[in-house]
Structure 1
Amino acid sequence: MPNRSEPRVITPALLRDWALPVPEGGKEARGTVLVVGGSRFTPGAVLLAGVAALRAGAGVLQLAAAESTAAALSIAVPEALVVGLPETADGAVAGRRHDRLVELAGEADVVAVGPGLNDVDQTRDLLDQILDATGPDTALVLDAYALGALSHAPDLLVGADRPVVLTPNLTEARHLLGHEPGPDLDAEAARLAERYRAVVSLYGHIATADGQRWREESGDAGLGTSGSGDVRAGILAGLLSRGAGPAQAACWAAYAHAVSGQRLVPRYGRIGFLARELLDEVPHTLATV
């Protein structure tokens, strides 16, 4: 087990000393994010994650979701290329090979998998396609059902030697750990990071496989709202796309997510804002660190 540092509190001063890359040039310099998710009944998760990636600085956005939702998504997010994926009879995204998905994954700088997916077995098949299609420099953000699939195949990332960030909630952390998370979420995040050889962002508790740890302390109860995790995963993907490293992106994303929620409190109260309202706050939060 690596020697673990004491968690560092994420503050504006810490982030200013760890400044995000500012790419020069056109949209290609800010990278391409592919978000894979969205069952027939949950396309909004892909929308939230994708728009969050753009708000965090991604240059090109591509969305892959259940075929029945693709037309609506392309209208709702006109900035994105949208690809419809085959569906099962109950509306889940099917895991069978899809040549266009493989092509897009192979060209993306960051692939975020999980928002809105709802079938563990089908998601595992999607992950296999994406891992086969992407190179060692392609960053992965695994969220929601992608984490469930990983918990069923804990060796999936072994030897992959690629930048990966896991973004579990407490239920997903339980599946990944094999036990209920204890009260020390710093320690639980570190256990997950070591076990899966990835950066882990667990409710603002961030850890790397080599024992580094950070804690974001600005988050409040309002972030516990439907779709909020999709926004956080999208912010992460956007920061990775523009050139941030996995730990840096996780720390900045945790801060941007939490403080964007704080900025909404005067208008909506502590628990009255919606996940979609976080999106417009993200650029300002990042810019004013």
Structure 2
Amino acid sequence: MKIFSAQQMRMADEATMQSKNITSLELMEQAAQQVFNLIHNRLQGAPVLIHVFCGIGNNGGDGLVVSRLLLEHGYNIKTYIVNFSENRSKDFLVNYDRLKEITSSWPIQLKSKEDFPTVSREDMIIDAIFGIGLNRPLVSWVAQLIKHLNTFRCFTLSIDIPSGLYVDKAPDDSEAVIYANTTVTFQLPKLVFFLPQTGMYTQDLEVIDIGLDRNFLTQSPGVGILISKNEVLPLYRPRHKFSHKGTFGHCVIIGGSYGKIGSVVLATRSALRIGAGLVSAYLPECGYEVMQSSVPEAMVITDDDDELAEIHLDFKPTAIGIGIGMGTNEKTVKAFEKFLKHNQSRLVMDADGINILSKHLQFFENLPEKTILTPHPKELQRLIGEWKDDFDKIEKTKAFSKEYDCIVVIKGANSITIYDNQLYVNTTGNPGMATAGSGDVLTGIITGLLSQGYEPLHAAVFGTYLHGSSADIAIQQTSFEGLLASDITSYIGAAFLELFKRPEAEGQVE
């Protein structure tokens, strides 16, 4: 599913009105009807008092239509107009008049702090104040209104986007944003829902089809792609009957130092579990017995006693994952530099490999094209420098990816893969993955996919999805708190099986 910017959504509206020969007022009615349907299906006429807060633009117009439909179906509602300006959109005014025609009391006007209403914990709030059209800082009393509404902690539904959020940048005041239990957004998701700074403002995202022009949606590239099962299934490479271990490549996991052999164990086991035909671990001699006993399926190559002082392979692997637990001491840095100059295999770079690169950017000239980097936030910061907000972070990462022709997987709650100015936003994963070693598992997964012949970008996107899916399946047995990185590896097979479950078998209809 594509992710659109605010400007692209406005263009989609225009394209729809032209292709379907409808007015903006008709399109507003169409969209608001879908919002009402969702609310009505959930409430089923429940006697809850619903407070609808409408701005004076088109998002407010959506709210007025929803208010009217709720009234027509017998719901107990109060509608408020948040008068933050003298300007009103034409469609807002039309729907304001339509609402007044069927209600005995006009919508309640809010113009200052003195007008703020009281809401009970058992009530419901519908937020239709700004939507995606917000493009300037909030008027002071409106910011205070939003903070006021958040204090009631009742169920809150935002139409299109929580008010106070911009679509394409971080909010001016992090407290002056509606905290929505559910956000019902139109047609396509927006990037703001998936970033650490802004994703917290909605707990549950519902994307509803409002009938925007299919040709425009198909032909427009968007600012990103939301990666779910439908997007990764075409990437899967099925195995044929006459395959053998050589068919699926020989990858090598390079890393480890005294006390940090476990990271290589996790990555090696994950590369095997994801389906690599042969996997070797290259690590210091101090890790030999640990690796041989922990992962009997792997071959082991050793170097110096406690740390890597030389990295020499007498064969050409299909793919290499390097950097985990490796350390950054001087002789390891020299070994790393020498290795890069001679390497001709596809690379996945993590942990200390990234840390070394951040201090020696000249090493990038020896990386193969489309090398995959998998930094956590601090490692990313060492690569691209400080950022002012998550949107700035993404722009700097895109520039970095373009400059060095590398694929960057920004690890997080919604891991984002970046390459060729495009974002691939992952939908799998859970808070249990905030545990030591989960990144090492991802390194092994992506390296193992590369080994099997997956293109680097596909390996990064598919691997990130399977990594999160494995954890999602695992927590059904372990809980968030009880999840270990090794559990993620154990459920990789289940994540593959989940890809091919019929929706009916899961109790869902797509």
TM range (shorter): 0.7 to 0.9
The superposition leaves residues 208-266 of structure 1 with CA deviations (integer Å, 9 ceiling, x where unpaired) of 1x212200022221111000000001000001110111110111111111111111222
Q: Confirm or deny that 1:149 pairs with 2:363.
A: no
Q: Check 1:84–1:251 CA distance in 2 against 1; reply closer, same or farther (3 A cut).
A: same
The superposition leaves residues 112-131 of structure 1 with CA deviations (integer Å, 9 ceiling, x where unpaired) of 11111122544432322322
Q: Which residue of 2 aligns with 1:33?
A: 251
- Rounded Cα–Cα distance in structure 1 between residues aligned with 2:484 and 2:268: 16
Q: Which residue of 2 aligns with 1:119?
A: 328
**Match for 1:231: what amino acid?**
V
Q: What secondary structure is seen at the aligned counterpart in 1 of 2:339?
A: helix
**Match for 2:372: what amino acid?**
V
Q: What secondary structure is seen at the aligned counterpart in 1 of 2:408?
A: strand
Q: Which residue of 1 aligns with 2:318?
A: 109
**Match for 1:149: what amino acid?**
I
Q: Which residue of 1 aligns with 2:196?
A: none
Q: Which residue of 2 aligns with 1:259?
A: 469
The superposition leaves residues 122-148 of structure 1 with CA deviations (integer Å, 9 ceiling, x where unpaired) of 44323223223322xx11010000001
**Match for 1:84: what amino acid?**
T
Q: What secondary structure is seen at the aligned counterpart in 2 of 1:117?
A: coil
**Aligned partners of 1:115 and 1:145 also within 8 Å:** yes
**Aligned partners of 2:308 and 2:326 also within 8 Å:** no
- Give the C-alpha shift of residue 31 in structure 1: 0.5
Q: Which residue of 2 aligns with 1:195?
A: 403
The superposition leaves residues 67-120 of structure 1 with CA deviations (integer Å, 9 ceiling, x where unpaired) of 112122112111111122114xxx4x233x35xx332xx421111111111225
- Rounded Cα–Cα distance in structure 2 between residues aligned with 1:254 and 1:198: 16
- Rounded Cα–Cα distance in structure 2 between residues aligned with 1:182 and 1:122: 37
**Aligned partners of 1:37 and 1:46 also within 8 Å:** yes
- Give the C-alpha shift of residue 178 in structure 1: 2.0
**Match for 1:166: what amino acid?**
L
- Structure 2 spans left out of the alignment, 5+ residues: 1-220, 500-510
**Aligned partners of 2:324 and 2:440 also within 8 Å:** yes
- Give the C-alpha shift of residue 21 in structure 1: 5.6
**Aligned partners of 2:429 and 2:471 also within 8 Å:** yes
Q: Check 1:244–1:287 CA distance in 2 against 1; reply closer, same or farther (3 A cut).
A: farther
Q: Check 1:37–1:181 CA distance in 2 against 1; reply closer, same or farther (3 A cut).
A: farther
Q: Which of 211, 231, 256 does residue 14 from structure 1 map onto? A: 231
- Rounded Cα–Cα distance in structure 2 between residues aligned with 1:118 and 1:198: 22
Q: Which residue of 1 aligns with 2:417?
A: 206
Q: Confirm or deny that 1:179 pairs with 2:386.
A: yes
**Aligned partners of 1:113 and 1:141 also within 8 Å:** yes
- Structure 1 spans left out of the alignment, 5+ residues: none
Q: Check 1:123–1:224 CA distance in 2 against 1; reply closer, same or farther (3 A cut).
A: farther
Q: Check 1:134–1:22 CA distance in 2 against 1; reply closer, same or farther (3 A cut).
A: farther
Q: Check 1:188–1:282 CA distance in 2 against 1; reply closer, same or farther (3 A cut).
A: farther
Q: What secondary structure is seen at the aligned counterpart in 2 of 1:94?
A: coil
Q: Which residue of 1 aligns with 2:110?
A: none
Give identity over the alignment, percent: 24
Q: Which of 425, 438, 450 does residue 215 from structure 1 map onto? A: 425
Q: Check 1:125–1:235 CA distance in 2 against 1; reply closer, same or farther (3 A cut).
A: same
**Match for 1:258: what amino acid?**
G
Q: Which of 226, 233, 255 does residue 443 from structure 2 map onto? A: 233
Q: Which residue of 2 aligns with 1:224?
A: 434
- Rounded Cα–Cα distance in structure 2 between residues aligned with 1:181 and 1:44: 35
**Aligned partners of 1:170 and 1:181 also within 8 Å:** no
**Aligned partners of 2:283 and 2:308 also within 8 Å:** no
Q: Which residue of 1 aligns with 2:263?
A: 45
**Aligned partners of 1:214 and 1:251 also within 8 Å:** yes
**Aligned partners of 1:193 and 1:207 also within 8 Å:** yes
Q: What secondary structure is seen at the aligned counterpart in 1 of 2:326?
A: coil
The superposition leaves residues 35-81 of structure 1 with CA deviations (integer Å, 9 ceiling, x where unpaired) of 11111101110000001001111010100112112122112111111
| Residue range with higher mean Cα deviation, 171-180 or 191-200 | 191-200
- Which one has more relative contact order, counting CA pairs under 8 Å at least 6 apart? 1
- Rounded Cα–Cα distance in structure 2 between residues aligned with 1:159 and 1:47: 27
- Give the C-alpha shift of residue 25 in structure 1: 2.1
- Rounded Cα–Cα distance in structure 2 between residues aligned with 1:157 and 1:122: 19
- Rounded Cα–Cα distance in structure 2 between residues aligned with 1:50 and 1:181: 37
- Rounded Cα–Cα distance in structure 1 between residues aligned with 2:431 and 2:357: 28
Q: Which residue of 2 aligns with 1:164?
A: 371
- Give the C-alpha shift of residue 5 in structure 1: 5.1
Deviant stretches of 4+, over 6 Å: none
- Give the C-alpha shift of residue 188 in structure 1: 4.5
Q: Confirm or deny that 1:139 pairs with 2:346.
A: yes
